[in-house]
Amino acid sequence: MGKTPVGFATHPACLAHVAGPAHPERPARLEAILARLDGEGLRKRMVELVPRPATEADLALCHTTAHIARVREACAGSLPLAPDTGTSPASWEAALRAAGAGLVAAEAIAAGKVTRAFCAVRPPGHHAGPSSAGGFCLFNNLAIAARHLQRRLGIKRVAIVDFDCHHGNGTQEIFRADGGVLACSIHQFGPNPLNPAVPFYPGSGAADETGEGAGAGRIVNAPVPSGAGLAEFEEAILERFTPVIESFDPGIILVAAGFDGHRDDPLALLELSTEDYGLITRQIVGIADRVCQGRVLSMLEGGYHLSALAASAAAHVTALLE
């Protein structure tokens, strides 16, 4: 065990979700991560947390009843929820366990059983909004965990740091008017060099998108152009995110851990290395150590080059364990 107990949540059901033939969000992603964590002896250093299936009441913390029903029906019929977001009969259980992983990790941290946790689950979540799926995401796992912490576990202020290369548009939509959640995101933004006629997916996340109502100023976007790397990520985390997180004084930091900003990833054009993910994680943990007793809950999002994904996730976990 490392200096601080770190929880780890995954579930075999998450391997059974199939989004479509030759789909980049495939079971091999999670298989590669688990093999790497086992191979480096990292998993045995963590406290195993068993995800329960999220209930409809859990899902309704962030999603409409109509959306929940639509996802269930789509999975039952192997129907797509969006052009890029397919389902299979096993997808429903996978989605419930993925959301449930965040719930049990939140509970373990709130109860002091662990200080940090990493949830290696799929399908991912940060593109799912209150009434929409997309970007390979069915339900917003991290957002559900955040609301669980707020409304049931007594942690009223939650900060989110999303370093997936794609903007977490669903997370922003869910929390844009919520003064109790600070959502910080660094992501590739602007024209897509591979198809200049369309913006890089999902097209949201401009710096002037800052929240509204009670959530005004609680959305902090740090868009970066294609080709950006560690320097831009460090500037965003250390100069843009750190002051607002420290001022916000959250009880926990949640991390949307997407590893598709790796220079080898086929779905983005950023230049992060495996080692950079370890450094970025250490910077986030450093903020948590100062403001919220080191409490960090991380959930897997993107990453589509198998070896780069597995190595980056291992670097992330290593930093959580330090």
Active site residues per annotation:
127
Helix, strand, or coil here: 182?
Answer: strand
**What angle separates helix 274-291 from helix 306-321, to the nearest 10 degrees?**
30
Q: Which residue, 254, 253, 248, 267, is CA-closest to 306? A: 267
Name the phi and psi angles at 242, rounded to 5. Answer: -55, -50
Give the whole-angstrom CA distance, residue 286 versus residue 282.
6
Residues pairing with 260 in the sheet = none
∠ at Cα 21 (166, 199), nearest 5°? 25
> How many angstroms separate the Cα of 274 from the Cα of each of 6, 12, 35, 42, 55?
21, 26, 16, 16, 36
> How many angstroms separate the Cα of 179 from the Cα of each of 62, 187, 237?
15, 22, 21
> How many angstroms separate the Cα of 188 from the Cα of each of 9, 129, 299, 318?
28, 20, 20, 25
Are 17 and 95 in contact by the 8 Å Cβ rule? The answer is yes
Q: Which tokens sit at 156? A: 């009223």
Q: Which tokens sit at 32? A: 């590669």
Name the phi and psi angles at 197, rounded to 5. Answer: -75, -15
